[in-house]
Amino acid sequence: MDDAGTVHVNGAVAIDENLILAIGSAEDILAEYSAAEVLDGKDRIVLPGLVNGHSHAAMTLLRGVADDLALMDWLNNYIFPAEVEFVDSEFVRIGTELACWEMIRGGTTTFVDMYYYPDAIAEVVDRCGMRAMISATVIDQRSPDAENADDSIQKGNGFMERWQGRNSRITPIFGPHANYTLNAEQLQATRKAAMAFSAPISIHISESPFELQYSQDTYGMPSIEMYESIGFFEGPTIAAHVVWPTKEEIPILVERKVGVIHNPTSNMKIASGIAPITEMLAAGVRVGLGTDGAASNNDLDLWEEMRLASLLQKVDRMDPEVMSATTVLTMATRGGATAIGLGDEIGSLEVGKRADLIQVEFDDVHHVPTYDVVSHLVWVTDEQDVTSVVVDGKILMKDGAMLTIDTERVAAESKALAARIQAALKQRNKAQ
Ligand SMILES: [Zn+2]
């Protein structure tokens, strides 16, 4: 995934501490370097770890709790009640561990998260070895961890103080929810708080027709214009969704270097719409991929997001030539890294970059025969094909075995918590 799109056949990567020291032919690398540990690469493709630019990791615990409902029914009768009753730091710890397990298993090495109790998220990431940007969520309503916007900004400041500079894999950021759950002053106050820490912001922008209408009615203009008008884009911004930008708004995203995170499964499942990704890429917008939360996906599988991103553009435009395999693989790796502001550190296998890389096994039946590696990675590969995962030079999964997460414990804790949630929802819906 370097500028030239180099593919090394029978290649090797040498890692020193947490950085890529050399990359080239296996023969040269093995002749020049000796290593404490060598990962076998027979029938395996080595590529940069995948970047999940938008997630609500702990929502894995609400996976499948309710599906196929209208957004407001789903939120008001299932998600919000379950969150109000059950989301505490323990829920977030268990749900985030479950999510990290799933993401590592599927080859994701970096994620940008937005949920409650960010300290609990950061502690899990610290232990399991992934790389993450973790948002302190800011929302002007009573949430599981704050009373209102002011309170959530104050708590966000505390989170920043505790986690900034503590672990190079963890970037604490602010996550204002959206311009229909925060007003202009609160959005500006959140940006000001983020600027005080030189921290980026992750936010939902232009996700649904509802938001478009709300923004027009409330601010007299569509969302992106509104954010521009209040100076919100003066700091780095990771914008999830951006399904409904107007033609006039796309150049603002380019000029302000806003990273757009496309979440095709969520956009389809909640029927938010089809994001004009082809137009945004052509205009020069930085675009990455995300899974959104597992309650609206229902997994954290970026291989599926790559396929759907491409398929959705092709059928929407009735043009099979748009969104090639290379384009979506770039969105899941280097493009995503650039969109979230980490393009100099991760996203490609190049000397001096962080050693975040994965191995994908190519000897399963669906990979036989292989004519083109990139075609197979996008159109065939599943999470189960990922065999080994390295983040920051440390092996997190080796030959399918999870090395940093106690999967038995996490599965047992998740099932126990899910049983309580299910019983409570049953009780609640019976009472209504
Ligand atoms: Zn989201």
pLDDT in tens, 20-37: 999 999 999 999 999 999
Q: How far is the CA of 35 from the centre of ligand 1 (A)?
A: 41
Per-residue tokens: 79: 């998600």
Peptide bond preceding 176: is omega within 30 degrees of 0, i.e. cis? no
More confident residue, 23 or 423: 23
More confident residue, 425 or 300: 300
Per-residue tokens: 426: 């049953």
* pLDDT tens track for 125-149: 999 999 999 999 999 988 899 999 9
Q: How far is the CA of 174 from the centre of ligand 1 (A)?
A: 14
Q: How far is the CA of 384 from the centre of ligand 1 (A)?
A: 25
173: CB partners within 8 A, 6+ apart: 112, 133, 134, 135, 136, 194, 199, 200, 201, 202, 238
Q: How far is the CA of 41 from the centre of ligand 1 (A)?
A: 36
Q: How far is the CA of 240 from the centre of ligand 1 (A)?
A: 7
For the chain, how long is the longest CA-to-CA vector?
Answer: 71
Q: Half-sphere exposure (CA, 13 Å, Cβ side) for 235?
A: 21
Q: How far is the CA of 115 from the centre of ligand 1 (A)?
A: 9
pTM for the structure as a whole:
0.97
pLDDT for residue 432 is more than 80: no
Place of tokens 């093995």: 30
Would you state the pLDDT for residue 73?
80
Q: How far is the CA of 426 from the centre of ligand 1 (A)?
A: 26
Q: Provide mean pLDDT across the span 192-198.
A: 98
Strands (DSSP E) along 3-151, which ranges? 11-16, 19-25, 44-48, 50-55, 108-115, 131-138
Q: How far is the CA of 80 from the centre of ligand 1 (A)?
A: 14
Residue 408, Cβ neighbours under 10 Å: how many? 8
Q: How far is the CA of 19 from the centre of ligand 1 (A)?
A: 31
Confidence of residue 81 (pLDDT cuts 50, 70, 90): confident
Q: Provide mean pLDDT across the span 33-62.
A: 96
Q: Provide mean pLDDT across the span 419-432.
A: 83
Q: Provide mean pLDDT across the span 218-238.
A: 98
Would you state the pLDDT for residue 287?
98
Q: How far is the CA of 160 from the centre of ligand 1 (A)?
A: 21
Q: How far is the CA of 181 from the centre of ligand 1 (A)?
A: 13
Q: How far is the CA of 43 from the centre of ligand 1 (A)?
A: 36
Q: How far is the CA of 204 from the centre of ligand 1 (A)?
A: 6
Would you state the pLDDT for residue 382?
96
Q: How far is the CA of 24 from the centre of ligand 1 (A)?
A: 39
Q: How far is the CA of 69 from the centre of ligand 1 (A)?
A: 17
- Specify the 3-state DSSP secondary structure of 249: coil
Would you state the pLDDT for residue 427?
83
Q: How far is the CA of 303 from the centre of ligand 1 (A)?
A: 19
Q: How far is the CA of 237 from the centre of ligand 1 (A)?
A: 14
Q: How far is the CA of 201 from the centre of ligand 1 (A)?
A: 13
pLDDT for residue 431 is more than 80: no
Q: Provide mean pLDDT across the span 51-63.
A: 96
Q: How far is the CA of 386 from the centre of ligand 1 (A)?
A: 26
Q: How far is the CA of 355 from the centre of ligand 1 (A)?
A: 28
Q: How far is the CA of 299 from the centre of ligand 1 (A)?
A: 13
Q: Provide mean pLDDT across the span 94-111.
A: 98
Q: How far is the CA of 266 from the centre of ligand 1 (A)?
A: 9
* Distance between CA atoms of residues 322 and 310, nearest Å: 8
146-150: long-range pairs with CB below 8 Å, 24+: 146/116, 149/182, 149/186, 149/189, 149/190, 150/189
Q: How far is the CA of 268 from the centre of ligand 1 (A)?
A: 13
Q: How far is the CA of 311 from the centre of ligand 1 (A)?
A: 21
Q: How far is the CA of 373 from the centre of ligand 1 (A)?
A: 31
- Specify the 3-state DSSP secondary structure of 83: helix
Q: How far is the CA of 415 from the centre of ligand 1 (A)?
A: 24
Q: How far is the CA of 1 from the centre of ligand 1 (A)?
A: 27
Per-residue tokens: 432: 């209504």
